[in-house]
């Protein structure tokens, strides 16, 4: 297994803690705002749950999820209550990302394609399944038609973590065409899809990308950020019914079940747009203030057109930037955590409170 990257931040975190105004931790994208009442009330109301939940998810949840996909993303999944499941709930999205190669039965050889700069769990999932990893941002070229070892899974991440990059429709369609031509599943991690700032992200499952059906395609979604519910561990997998069924059948055997009260909260959340829009506005305001301060402090922001992070650089080794920020009492994530191509960047999260964002802005103005 790769080293757990966050352990390497211990020294910078300790230096930042010595700042008289306390730490401003922008290193981890964990929500800090209260979980909306629409979720907490539904969770409490479903608290009497003596029986086991199902891996398939309740009919109410699957119906709400299909409605959310259609309403917010323009995605039409196959009958969510049909014999072949087109979507299922998951225990958050990180668990699914880490286990997906194994759940799809891909262990035993092959390569998983991940973005050049990527969330580390894609690689972890490949390692767990005994697979290799190839990093690339570019749509497949002819040279990828017969790689050694062969590609068995493609991960896309749009909007991307850490850099907020959004793939264009042409890029998405290129991956779809290649995956279908070679019988390779293409999976898009879209956990930040509702947080487009400069551009509007498009789902891999949108008809302008996928065409008339979702054959060979899967999308991963999460309520952690859009509903400030990371503690609920509430995620969704949707797309090709054949692939979803394969994942569902293994999850049943493993007992990977979303608790019944959480399924009730997910149902309520997916039926309500107001809390999502309100949280989006909070993040927009924090992004505007922090981005101006970061640029004013002599850093350049790249990509970051969507999502919950600013991908910033001083054109120096990322650990040098980390040390500079720690002296100001600010903790960021070194870009190298996300692959060698990130070695001159840092990731700054928008998930701190308004008060901590204000403190970061003041310190950066120094």
* pLDDT tens readout for residues 207-226: 999 999 999 999 999 999 99
Bridge-based pairing state of the strands 186-189 and 151-157: parallel
Percent of residues, the chain, with pLDDT higher than 70: 96
If phi > 0 it is left, if psi is from -120 to 50 it is alpha, else beta; for residue 352 that is beta
pLDDT over 90 (residue 25): yes
Calpha distance 46→140 (Å, rounded): 47
pLDDT, one tens digit per residue, over 72-108 is 999 999 888 888 899 999 999 999 999 999 999 997 7
Of the listed ranges 8-12, 242-246, 346-350, the one predicted with least confidence? 8-12
- Flag the least confident range among 1-15, 140-154, 179-193, 226-240: 140-154
Dist. CA 211–CA 192, nearest whole Å:
23
- Reported as a pLDDT band with limits 50, 70 and 90, residue 143 is very low
Which pLDDT does position 140 carry in this prediction? 63
256 closest CA partner among 24, 58, 55: 55
Per-chain mean pLDDT for the chain:
94
pLDDT of residue 109: 83
pLDDT of 2 over the 80 cut: no
Give the pLDDT score at 137: 82
Strand, coil or helix: 95: helix
pLDDT of residue 147 exceeding 70, the answer is: no
Q: Give whole-number Cα distances, 365 to 24, 289, 293, 299, 358, in Å.
A: 14, 12, 6, 12, 11
Q: What is the mean pLDDT of residues 352-356?
A: 96
Tell me, yes or no, if the pTM score tops 0.75: yes
Does 317 score more than 60 pLDDT?
A: yes
Peptide bond before residue 149 is cis, with ω within 30 degrees of 0: yes
CATH match of 47-271 with 3.40.50.720: no
Rg (CA), the chain: 20
Task: Please check whether the two domains, 5-35+275-365 and 47-271, share a CATH topology.
Answer: no
157-186 pLDDT, tens digit per residue, is 999 999 999 999 999 999 999 999 999 999
Contact 100, 124 (CB under 8 A): no
Domain boundaries, the chain: 5-35+275-365, 47-271
pLDDT in tens, 230-289: 999 999 999 999 999 999 999 999 999 999 999 999 999 999 999 999 999 999 999 999
Q: Any idea which fold 5-35+275-365 has?
A: 3.90.1150
Look at residue 142 and tell me whether its pLDDT is greater than 70.
no
User: pLDDT at residue 332 above 50?
Assistant: yes
Whether 146 shows a pLDDT value over 60: the answer reads no
CA distances from 133 to 129, 151, 152, 232, 276 (A): 11, 9, 10, 30, 35
């Amino acid at each position: 297994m790769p080293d757990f990257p966050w352990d390497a931040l211990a020294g910078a975190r300790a230096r930042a803690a010595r700042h008289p105004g306390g730490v401003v931790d922008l290193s981890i994208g964990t929500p800090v705002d209260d979980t909306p009442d629409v979720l907490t009330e539904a969770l409490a109301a479903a608290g009497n749950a003596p029986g086991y939940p199902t891996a398939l998810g309740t009919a109410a949840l699957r119906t709400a999820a299909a409605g959310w996909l259609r309403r917010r993303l323009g995605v039409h999944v196959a009958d969510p209550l049909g014999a072949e499941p087109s979507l299922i709930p998951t225990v958050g999205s990180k668990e699914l990302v880490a286990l997906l190669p194994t759940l799809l039965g891909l262990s035993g050889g092959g390569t998983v394609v991940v973005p050049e700069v990527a969330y580390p769990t894609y690689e972890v999932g490949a390692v767990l399944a005994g697979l290799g990893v190839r990093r690339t941002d570019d749509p497949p070229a002819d040279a990828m038609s017969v790689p050694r070892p062969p590609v068995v899974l493609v991960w896309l991440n749009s909007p991307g973590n850490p850099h907020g990059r959004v793939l264009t429709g042409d890029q998405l369609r290129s991956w779809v065409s290649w995956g279908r031509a070679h019988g390779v599943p293409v999976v898009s991690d879209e956990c930040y899809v509702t947080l487009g700032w400069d551009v509007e992200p498009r789902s891999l499952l949108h008809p302008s990308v996928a065409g008339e059906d979702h054959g060979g395609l899967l999308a991963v979604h999460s309520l952690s950020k859009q509903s400030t519910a990371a503690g609920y561990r509430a995620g969704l997998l949707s797309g090709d019914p054949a692939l979803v069924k394969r994942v569902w059948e293994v999850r049943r055997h493993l007992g990977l079940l979303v608790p019944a009260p959480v399924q009730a909260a997910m149902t309520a959340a997916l039926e309500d747009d107001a809390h999502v829009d309100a949280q989006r506005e909070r993040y927009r305001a924090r992004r505007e203030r922090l981005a101006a301060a970061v640029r004013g402090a002599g850093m350049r922001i790249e990509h970051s057109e969507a999502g919950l992070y600013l991908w910033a650089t001083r054109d120096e080794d990322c650990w040098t930037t980390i040390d500079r920020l720690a002296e100001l009492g600010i903790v960021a994530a070194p870009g190298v955590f996300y692959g060698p191509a990130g070695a001159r960047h840092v990731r700054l999260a928008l998930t701190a409170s308004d008060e901590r964002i204000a403190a970061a802005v003041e310190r950066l103005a120094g």
